[in-house]
Amino acid sequence: MANKIRTSKNVARKASSQLRSKNTSKIQKSVAGSALRNRAKK
Structural domain contains residue 2: no
In tens, the pLDDT along 8-17 reads 899 999 999 9
pLDDT of residue 20 exceeding 80: yes
Q: Structure pTM? A: 0.72
Q: Give the DSSP letter string of 1-42.
A: ------B-HHHHHHHHHHHH-TT--HHHHHHHHHHHHTBPP-
Count the domains in the chain: 1
Residue 19: domain span:
7-42
Q: How confident is the model at residue 6 (pLDDT cuts 50, 70, 90)?
A: confident
User: Which pLDDT band, with edges at 50, 70 and 90, does 42 fall under?
Assistant: low
Query: Is residue 40 assigned to a domain?
Result: yes
| Radius of gyration of the chain measured on its C-alpha atoms | 11
Q: How far is CA 36 from CA 4, 15, 32, 39, in A?
A: 14, 7, 6, 5
- Going by C-alpha positions, the residue among 1, 11, 20 that lies closest to residue 38 is 11
Mean pLDDT (the chain) is 87
